[in-house]
Amino acid sequence: MGFRAAPAMTHQITGSRGIVVLFCLSWLAIAPGCAVRRWVTGTTVPPAESGNPQYKTEEELLTIVAALQRAADTNTYRFPIPKDVTGANIYKATLARLRDYESKHPGAYPELVAFTRARAYEGLHEYEQAIAHYHIVSQTSHRLRDEAAKAAALLARFHALRQPLRAETLPAYLQALDARVADWHALRQEVAGTRYEPLAREQEERCDQQKVAFLLVNRHHLEDGTNKVIAAYQHLLSKHRESKHFYRYQIEFGDFYFTLAQEYVARNGPDTLEFHPDTFLQLSRAALQLYARVAQVDGVMEKLEAKGKLEALKAYMAQVGRTGM
């Protein structure tokens, strides 16, 4: 590990238990300005003593913590949730490993287990569970109690903004949704530069997605519903260019234009005078452009899907063209 303790702190870190505490806190308190950093200076970890059950207990906890540590700095708004060495979601894997750890070592390092579990729930946006485990730590005399209390207080605000929206009419629901987006945006600005910023951005993004989905389902019941959907998609793409879902949004927007082209053909048969090729081509080309943008991007999972949709749309356009153009 390579850390050394300051002389004044030596009496606090002697013994194996102190080693685990310091090692774990050195990454658990990764947030800038964290109070714990003022006293965590590290120590040198002695070699594990073969056959000593206490060292084995600590080694297993350190393994779990170290795996989660590698994901600590990942911006999950921009990048996918990190995987562990088995390819599993690191946050879900951490929770499973902590359950196994507690079953094998009941009562071992309960505050550190609770704090680590809270961080894993945080990463999964399971704020209520995270708050509950932070409270476990905050109600003890453990050195992480202040940090846990602050995290619980902040996540309580996250949890409050996750409550379902209710409204009597479709326009009222849209207004409530826009207000919720504004609330998330304000909270995101408040936590800018901290490890909570990506979480807040993801929540704001989900509200923007929710608006698109709501408009898609209800567009025939809203005045100028189709144009509202188009505007919502354009806003989503403009606002969330850095999102890991950016290419997915482009494909879905292309799907919407493809649907509009198909609806136009269904309403106005290509072999009738009501069919206007320019209108059909305008809708189809909008979808083509969106699919093509993704199909030309290397290194993204959506590329192959976009290529398939591009070819399918071209075939559909050719079929309609043979009949009515």
Provide the angle, in degrees to the nearest 10, between the axes of the packed helices 170-190 and 197-218.
Answer: 170
Task: Tell me which of 160, 192, 225 is where a domain ends.
Answer: 160
Inside any domain, residue 145: yes
Mark whether 140 and 151 lie in a shared domain. Answer: yes
Side chain identity at residue 261, one-letter code: A
Q: For residue 73, what pLDDT band results from cuts at 50, 70 and 90? A: confident
Inside any domain, residue 2: no
Q: For residue 28, what pLDDT band results from cuts at 50, 70 and 90? A: low
The pLDDT value given to residue 45: 43
Number of domains in the chain: 3
Task: Tell me which of 160, 190, 220 is where a domain ends.
Answer: 160
**pTM exceeding the 0.85 threshold for the entire prediction:** no
| Closest among 31, 12, 42, 192 to 115, alpha carbons compared | 31
Mark whether 294 and 212 lie in a shared domain. Answer: no
Inside any domain, residue 1: no
User: How does pLDDT run across 132-166, given as a tens digit for each residue?
Assistant: 999 999 999 999 999 999 999 999 999 999 999 99
From CA 269, how far away is CA 260, in angstroms rounded? 14
Inside any domain, residue 322: yes
Range of the domain at 312: 245-325
Q: Which residues pair with 83 in a beta bridge?
A: 89
Q: Lowest-pLDDT range, 47-56, 57-66, 271-280, 308-317? A: 47-56
Question: Which has the higher per-residue pLDDT, 86 or 325?
Answer: 86
For 288-309, b where at least 16 C-beta lie within 10 A, e where not — what string? bebbbebbeeeeeebeebbeeb
Q: For residue 52, what pLDDT band results from cuts at 50, 70 and 90? A: low
Inside any domain, residue 116: yes
Mark whether 15 and 145 lie in a shared domain. Answer: yes
The pLDDT value given to residue 36: 32
Mark whether 183 and 225 lie in a shared domain. Answer: yes
Task: Tell me which of 160, 178, 194 is where a domain ends.
Answer: 160
Mark whether 231 and 253 lie in a shared domain. Answer: no
From CA 58, how far away is CA 157, in angstroms rounded? 34
